[in-house]
Amino acid sequence: MRRTRCGTSGGIARRAELSQAELGARVGRDRAQIARWESDAVQPAFETLVELVEACGFELDFVLRPLEPGRTRDTRIAKNLVRSPEDRVRKLLRRLRD
């Protein structure tokens, strides 16, 4: 019997020692759908993710934390890297004007 390691909730499912079929039965989905989530071919909706986690005997918890300075910088750099060199120069000139 294949033990599930669902891509999104894989760690939790693994800890719960559930097979794809068992997890599918608990959330009313077939084994193939669990397999798709497991392989990250598709992502479950947020509500479904909550359901999957609960079916494994856990609950999701969220913590809001202030963004660390390093992460803010990374976000800015990541945005910059998506820009073309031409756009990066345009942005510099715009910042100098402002």
Partner 1 sequence: MADSARTRFDPYAVLKTLDRHRVTYIVIGAFARVIQGSEELTRGIDIVPSTRPENLRRLKEALGELNAQRDDGRKLRFDEHSLEPMIPLRTDAGELKIVPEPEGTRGYDDLRRAATREPLGQGVRPSVASLGDLARMLGARGREIDLENLRMLRRVIALERSRGISWER
3-state secondary structure 57-85: CCCCCCCCCCCCHHHHHHHHHHHHHHCCH
Q: For 46, which DSSP code? A: H
- Contact pick of 28, 66, 69, 85 for partner 1 (by CB under 8 A): 85
Cα separation, 72 vs 2, in Å, equals: 41
Q: Is 80 near partner 1 (CB under 8 A)?
A: yes
- Contact pick of 62, 66, 77, 94 for partner 1 (by CB under 8 A): 77
In the bound state with partner 1, the residue whose beta carbon lies nearer, of 3 and 83, is 83
Whole-number minimum distance, CB 68 to partner 1, in Å? 13
